[in-house]
């Protein structure tokens, strides 16, 4: 179960180090992925050669920076098969992207009596902004239930059909659950939402770097993701929006770069994407995100998805054999993304993470920005192992050995 | 990293496995709650003040071995104490978990928490229950959160 690309681990400088005297096993990819040399080089090259402000200067460096920045926008549009680069708005990440829709779209369209629909297993970033939008507008926020005592049944599609009334103005849902590993049937959800005239927003933070993603095939209205979970830098993300929707939307932030005409009394806005990118944008990280798209496509997103699937299959088989473990999300053998969350009856997740770290294994422990879901499942925290293109079966064995040591220690 | 057995001493493991004074206290006349929002640890402290002394004290909540053991040790060490005495004991605990310095005369079994200072990320685990208890003593029902107090 080694990565299908020869020497792919050599592309990631950070992987080649010892942690607590043991070779690093990085299994916290759901939180952030590591960066290949080509992405790091793109950042360095920009700052060493092209650094300049964009869209303003007529000098050579500014033109180079502008070309590279807009080239990255086009590259990302191609990466998700958007119809038009103007549908790609650069943001700080998924959270800012969703907040932009919640505030701009929510302010313009939501009113008392309307319903905003989301699911019981959203990351806080796709939950709290809708709570705020509902509070501000007087709309009601409703949740599509999750099935199964361990959340193994996924989204309750029968309940969704009942909840999808003409009062629903917007349906926001995750593509892949960061806690459960559940892969939502996003195209089907968009189709159902469209039938009642609801706008759709997809949180693609966990899917963008892991599986092929085509916004036109999915049929969504908005889609949000972060660069840092797909081999790109932190601080850069994207809001995709259908062009006709974006052009009707008022900006959330105003200032330089997004205006056509300004007087002492008023201002008029440029079209998308500039309308939503007030101020000097994050040029370097946008360019490096374009480099990340190139890196992932050179490997092949089908192959990345296949490797994720193969790793998680092995992990599910080996982890489920540990005594006293409770794995949440899809059962062994069922479709799931490349991550596993689990809990032990007598060892808290933070103790697990501390001990695994002593073995050089990086895991995540906690509520995974999913507090309501944890409460629903009767948990306060879980430990999560999340895989990516550079992980190996040997690393899963290191994880399992570490967990066995932890169980033995706490059993006394 | 330091050896984890410094952090997970046998006293800690024992209190984690068999927490003392755990559960609601029916006779409590003071209650306060502590939250660590970054990890989800929670601790509710119940205490009964008899005059100016803590007549009885208990806790409930969920969290890592460090937070559970520290809260359990806390109940044993605060029972029968006045508010100023409790503050003095906590000052010693705070010193202990942030510097590792043990006050041999006063801390007794709490010295098992000394290893925490080598793991700065875990200091908040060790102090969560104590902050809830001090808030309860002050008659301050607001939630103690690790984001508003230092350590």
- Quick: pLDDT tens for A247-273: 999 999 999 999 999 999 999 999 999
B109 located within any domain: yes
Find all residues with CB under 8 Å of A33, minimum gap 6, and list them: A209, A228, A229, A230, A231, A388
Q: Which two tokens stand for residue A259?
A: 């205006």
A293 located within any domain: yes
Q: Please indicate, yes or no, whether residues A401 and A262 belong to a single structural domain of this protein.
A: no
Q: What is the pLDDT of residues A305-351, one digit of tens each?
A: 999 999 999 999 999 999 999 999 999 999 999 999 999 988 999 99
Instruction: Compute and round to an integer the Cα radius of gyration of chain B.
Output: 14
Strand partners, A362: A26
Q: Please indicate, yes or no, whether residues A321 and A289 belong to a single structural domain of this protein.
A: no
Q: Please indicate, yes or no, whether residues A229 and A322 belong to a single structural domain of this protein.
A: no
Q: Which two tokens stand for residue B6?
A: 């410094």
Separation between Cα atoms, residue B32 and residue A374, nearest integer Å? 23
Of A85, A124, A89, A83, residue with least CA distance to A105 = A89
Looking at the structure of chain A, the number of domains it has is 2
Domain containing A310 equals 8-31+301-411
Separation between Cα atoms, residue B125 and residue A190, nearest integer Å? 43
Count CB atoms within 10 A of the CB of residue A341: 30
pTM: 0.94
Q: Please indicate, yes or no, whether residues A261 and A358 belong to a single structural domain of this protein.
A: no
The pLDDT score that the predictor gives to residue B143 is 60
Q: Name which of B2, B8, B9, B40 to mutate to probe chain A: the one with the most chain A Cβ atoms within 10 A of its Cβ.
A: B40
A369 is an active site residue: yes
Q: What is the pLDDT of residues A126-177, one digit of tens each?
A: 999 999 999 999 999 999 999 999 999 999 999 999 999 999 999 999 999 9
Domain containing B109 equals 4-145
Domain boundary among A278, A298, A318: A298
Residue A358 is nearest to which of B4, B38, B39, comparing CB atoms? B4
The pLDDT score that the predictor gives to residue B146 is 59
Q: Which residues of A touch B15 (CB under 8 A)?
A: none
B150 located within any domain: no
Domain boundary among A247, A270, A298: A298
Local confidence band at A56 (pLDDT 50, 70, 90 cut-offs): confident
Q: Please indicate, yes or no, whether residues A257 and A222 belong to a single structural domain of this protein.
A: yes
Domain boundary among A298, A322, A347: A298
A3 located within any domain: no
B151 located within any domain: no
Q: Which of A193-207, B32-46, B99-113 has the lowest mean pLDDT?
A: B99-113
Q: Please indicate, yes or no, whether residues A240 and A363 belong to a single structural domain of this protein.
A: no
CATH code (residue B109): 3.90.1010.10
B94 located within any domain: yes
* Cβ contact B62–A412 (<8 Å): no
CA geometry: angle at A207 spanning A202 and A213, to 5°?
80
A188 located within any domain: yes
Q: Please indicate, yes or no, whether residues A326 and A396 belong to a single structural domain of this protein.
A: yes
Q: Please indicate, yes or no, whether residues A125 and A156 belong to a single structural domain of this protein.
A: yes
Separation between Cα atoms, residue A373 and residue A119, nearest integer Å? 10
Q: Please indicate, yes or no, whether residues A18 and A60 belong to a single structural domain of this protein.
A: no
CB A304, CB A33: distance < 8 Å: no
Local confidence band at A280 (pLDDT 50, 70, 90 cut-offs): very high
Looking at the structure of chain B, the number of domains it has is 1
A185 located within any domain: yes
Q: Please indicate, yes or no, whether residues A72 and A209 belong to a single structural domain of this protein.
A: yes
Q: Please indicate, yes or no, whether residues A126 and A236 belong to a single structural domain of this protein.
A: yes
CA atoms within 13 A on the CB side of A372: 15
The pLDDT score that the predictor gives to residue A360 is 98
A76 located within any domain: yes
A221 located within any domain: yes
Residue A374 has pLDDT above 70, yes or no: yes
Closest residue in A to B66 (Cα) is A351
Q: Name which of B10, B64, B72, B124 to mutate to probe chain A: the one with the most chain A Cβ atoms within 10 A of its Cβ.
A: B64
A36 located within any domain: no
CATH code (residue A391): 3.90.1150.10
A247 located within any domain: yes
Closest CA–CA distance from residue B34 to any residue of chain A (Å): 14
CATH code (residue A57): 3.40.640.10
Find all residues with CB under 8 Å of A409, minimum gap 6, and list them: A355, B8
């Amino acid at each position: 179960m080694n990565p299908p690309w020869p020497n792919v681990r050599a592309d990631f400088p950070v992987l080649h180090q010892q942690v607590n005297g043991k070779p690093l096993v990085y299994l916290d990819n759901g939180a952030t992925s590591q960066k290949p040399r080509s992405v790091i080089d793109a950042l360095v090259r920009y700052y060493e050669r092209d650094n300049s402000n964009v869209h303003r200067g007529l000098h050579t460096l500014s033109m180079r920076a502008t070309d590279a920045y807009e080239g990255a926008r086009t590259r990302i549009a191609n990466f998700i098969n958007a119809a038009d680069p103007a549908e790609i708005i650069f943001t700080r990440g998924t959270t800012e992207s969703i907040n932009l829709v919640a505030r701009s779209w929510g302010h313009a369209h939501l009113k008392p009596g309307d319903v905003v629909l989301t699911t019981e297993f959203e990351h806080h970033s796709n939950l709290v902004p809708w709570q705020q939008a509902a509070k501000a507008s007087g709309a009601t926020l409703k949740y599509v239930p999750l099935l199964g005592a361990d959340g193994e049944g996924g989204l309750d599609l029968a309940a969704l059909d009942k909840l999808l009334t003409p009062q629903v103005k917007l349906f926001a849902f995750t593509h892949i659950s960061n806690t459960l590993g559940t892969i939502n049937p996003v195209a089907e959800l968009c189709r159902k939402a469209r039938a009642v005239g609801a706008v759709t927003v997809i949180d693609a933070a966990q899917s963008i770097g892991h599986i092929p993603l085509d916004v036109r095939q999915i049929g969504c209205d908005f889609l949000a993701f972060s660069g840092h979970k797909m081999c790109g830098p932190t601080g850069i993300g994207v809001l995709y929006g259908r062009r006709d929707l974006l052009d009707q939307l008022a900006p959330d932030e105003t200032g330089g770069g997004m205006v056509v005409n300004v007087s002492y009394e008023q201002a008029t806005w440029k079209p998308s994407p500039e309308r939503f990118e007030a101020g000097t944008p994050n040029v370097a990280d946008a360019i490096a995100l374009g480099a990340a798209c190139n890196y992932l496509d050179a490997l092949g997103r089908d192959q990345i998805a296949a490797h994720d699937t193969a790793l998680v299959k092995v992990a599910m088989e080996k982890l489920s054999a540990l005594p006293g473990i409770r794995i949440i999300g899809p059962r062994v053998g069922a479709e799931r993304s490349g991550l596993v969350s689990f809990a032990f009856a007598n060892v808290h997740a933070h103790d697990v993470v501390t001990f695994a770290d002593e073995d050089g294994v990086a895991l995540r422990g906690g509520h995974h920005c999913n507090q309501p879901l944890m409460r629903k499942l009767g948990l306060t925290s879980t430990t999560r192992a999340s895989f990516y293109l550079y992980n190996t079966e040997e690393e899963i064995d290191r994880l399992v050995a570490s967990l066995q040591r932890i169980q033995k220690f706490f059993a006394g | 990293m330091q050896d984890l057995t410094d952090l997970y001493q046998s006293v800690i493991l024992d209190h984690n496995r068999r927490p003392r004074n755990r559960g609601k206290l029916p006779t409590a006349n003071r209650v306060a709650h502590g939250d660590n929002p970054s990890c989800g640890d929670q601790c509710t402290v119940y205490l009964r003040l008899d005059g100016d002394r803590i007549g009885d004290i208990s806790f409930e909540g969920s969290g890592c071995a460090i937070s559970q053991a520290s809260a359990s040790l806390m109940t044993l060490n605060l029972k029968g104490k006045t508010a100023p005495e409790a503050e003095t004991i906590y000052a010693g605990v705070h010193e202990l978990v942030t510097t590792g310095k043990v006050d041999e005369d006063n801390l007794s079994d709490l010295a098992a928490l000394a290893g925490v200072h080598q793991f700065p990320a875990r200091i908040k685990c060790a102090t969560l229950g104590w902050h809830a208890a001090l808030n309860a003593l002050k008659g301050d029902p607001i939630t103690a959160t690790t984001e508003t107090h230092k350590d």
